[in-house]
């Protein structure tokens, strides 16, 4: 399970060193993709298959909304295998998408990691912390 928050930097060659505690789980390769909220997401290959490929790939291609999601996820994805130092190459289109500069925050979100521009993450986190109790209440009401 991917949990926690880690401050890292993108080097001059557009590589990001993944948090050390997750390197074993990601050693067999990752899929980097555009996230729904403006982050760059990092999935272990097997989690990508079950979380994204099967669910998004299985949507009806005659639906405009399905095609939009398929284009976002599959068209914006890239595969990589971390090197011995745990670094992955961030493609330029994903750097642009996430508005990533140098300083980033990597957060664990259960089955994958999200990469955020550090200042964007600070702003986003303030909003999350301010609305989490309301979201929890709405989700709890759906279980009734």
On average, the pLDDT of the chain sits at: 94
pTM of the model: 0.91
Nearest residue to 106 (alpha-carbon basis) of 3, 29, 11, 30: 3
| 21-49 burial code (b ≥16 CB/10 A, e <16) | ebeeebeeebbbbbbeeebbbbbbeebbe
pLDDT in tens, 69-89: 999 999 999 999 999 999 999
Return the pLDDT at 106: 98
Return the pLDDT at 128: 81
Tokens of 18: 């993944």
- Residues in the chain with pLDDT < 70? 144
Handedness of CA 100, 34, 127, 16 (dihedral sign): negative
Max Cα distance, the chain (Å): 51
CA 77/CA 82 separation, integer angstroms? 16
> Within 13 A of 93's CA, how many CA atoms are on the CB side?
10
């Amino acid at each position: 399970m991917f949990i926690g928050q880690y401050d890292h930097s993108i080097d001059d060659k557009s590589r990001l060193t993944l948090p050390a505690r997750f390197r074993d789980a990601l050693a067999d390769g990752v899929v980097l993709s555009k996230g729904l909220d403006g982050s760059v997401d990092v999935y272990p290959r097997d989690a990508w298959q079950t979380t994204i490929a099967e669910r998004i790939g299985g949507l009806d291609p005659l639906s405009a909304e399905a095609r939009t999601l398929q284009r976002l996820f599959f068209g914006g994805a890239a595969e990589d295998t971390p090197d011995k130092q745990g670094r992955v190459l961030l493609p330029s289109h994903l750097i642009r998408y996430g508005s990533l500069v140098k300083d980033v925050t990597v957060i664990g979100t259960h089955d994958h990691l999200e990469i955020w521009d550090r200042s964007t993450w600070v702003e986003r986190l303030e909003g999350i912390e301010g609305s989490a109790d309301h979201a929890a209440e709405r989700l709890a009401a759906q279980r009734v």
